[in-house]
Amino acid sequence: MYAASGVLTVHTERGTSIVPANRVAWTPAGFAHHHRAHGDTDMRIVFLPPSLARLIPDHPAVFLASDLAREVLLALTGRRNYDAAPAYSRSARSRLLRVLVDELREAPEQPLHLPQPRDDRLQAIARMLHERPADNTSLAELGKTIGASTRTLSRLFRNELGMTFYEWRTQLRIYHALVLLADGHDTTQTAYACGWANPSSFIAAFSNIVGTTPGRYRTSRQTTARASQLPTAVKSSG
């Protein structure tokens, strides 16, 4: 699944993958999933045969699309989201899919997967923070609400989700921030709506996870969306 523009979320039993513009979400066979688009989203879907699927991770993941991967994805699905995909021969399509897989194998996984807790106590915390991402209640106070100690909850976050409570909540807030930015909110509005004390701390956290500032992300998202609407072939003027 590729977001040529906008933001996608892909949900599996493992959690939620956040897919900003120019990222690729990979869902292996056997994972029940559903997805949702946020903002003006141009979504592309490509299926891989088992012979190629086994070359990339056996778990849901998000990758940054290289320039070559983006062009292959657009070629396989149609340059515009309302165009039909070009009628490639079976051998040509196979070669393009192999190039795509080669690019994904070289791309590092993005830290854009929000794991889904299984423990009832963590699920209760997750529900509260999904509903109120700006809530700055400490883990100790949240524990009192659900009847669990800070020590127990900290251990559950590490053992079950592989991260601290602070790291998980930051991932959750980035997820909400990407949705708000896709809906047209500016950096300051988004920072306060997602619980940051000031825009500069939001920009730092966003840059650390997404790899660019919110402002540059919005600009690159618009540029990528325009690129996906260019004609497939451009006649040379020379």
* pLDDT 10s digits, 129-180: 999 999 999 999 999 999 999 999 999 999 999 999 999 999 999 989 988 8
**Cα distances (Å, whole numbers) of residue 29 to 54, 63, 210:** 10, 17, 26
Query: What would the mean pLDDT of 181-207 be, rounded to a whole number?
Result: 93
Does residue 65 contact residue 19 with C-beta atoms inside 8 Å? no
Question: CA gyration radius for the chain?
Answer: 20
Question: What integer pLDDT is reported at residue 235 of this predicted model?
Answer: 29
Q: What pTM does this model have?
A: 0.75
Rounded to 5°, angle at Cα 163 from 159 and 164: 100
Residue 16 banded pLDDT, cuts 50, 70, 90: confident
Burial class, 194, CB count within 10 angstroms (exposed 0-12 / middle 13-18 / buried 19+):
buried
Question: What integer pLDDT is reported at residue 152 of this predicted model?
Answer: 96
Tokens of 139: 């883990």
Average pLDDT, the chain: 86
Q: How many distinct helices (H) and strands (E) make up the chain? A: 10, 6
Helix, strand, coil share (%) of the chain residues, nearest 5: 50, 15, 35
Question: What integer pLDDT is reported at residue 126 of this predicted model?
Answer: 93
H or E element at residue 32: none
Calculate helix-pair angle for 199-210, 214-227, nearest 10 degrees.
50
Check whether 118 has a pLDDT greater than 70: yes
Question: What integer pLDDT is reported at residue 221 of this predicted model?
Answer: 58
**Cα distances (Å, whole numbers) of residue 193 to 88, 89, 181, 189, 207:** 46, 49, 11, 6, 17
Q: Which residues contact 175 (CB under 8 A, 6 or more apart)?
A: 9, 16, 18, 114
Burial class, 46, CB count within 10 angstroms (exposed 0-12 / middle 13-18 / buried 19+):
middle
Phi-psi region of 144 (alpha: psi -120 to 50; beta: other; left: phi over 0): alpha
